[in-house]
Structure 1
Amino acid sequence: MATDKRVFTLRLKDDNFNKIKYIADKNKRSIAMQIEYLIEQHIEQFEKEKGIIGTGE
């Protein structure tokens, strides 16, 4: 399955990993999709407060 998503390593404290896994399970998402969702929510909130972020693309 081809994807346009970048792959990278993310190191988390065990406690944070376990909590994100718990939330992901409750939301019927994979851990990766839950992390992506949380990042998207944070970016959206940041841009509401500070303005749109230019990505240079």
Structure 2
Amino acid sequence: MKEYKHLSLRIDEEMLRKFRYVCKYEGRSANRQLLIYIRDAIGAFEKEHGPIEPEQTEP
């Protein structure tokens, strides 16, 4: 079974309200929406700079 990690985020109130609006519009939880944004950002980075190998990341 995959082990999931926790991540804390500091965000101002207006941005949080707008983010929640986007999540509701998309029909997703905030967690799921953030995972999609993170996946897309990593994909864009790897497209421009090449794959990130596991040994390049810190545990």
TM-score, normalising length: structure 1: 0.77
Runs of at least 4 residues off by over 3 Å: none
Are residue 46 (structure 1) and residue 33 (structure 2) matched? no
For structure 2, the 5+ residue unaligned runs are none
Identity of aligned residues (%): 27
TM-score, normalising length: structure 2: 0.75
Aligned equivalents of 2:54, 2:15: Cα separation in 1: 28
Greater relative contact order, per chain length (Cα 8 Å cut-off, separation 6+): 1
CA-based RMSD: 2.0
Aligned equivalents of 1:9, 1:46: Cα separation in 2: 22
> If each structure's helix is expressed as a fraction of its own residues, which one has the higher value?
2
For structure 1, the 5+ residue unaligned runs are none
Report the equivalent of 2:8.
Answer: 9
Residue correspondences, number: 56
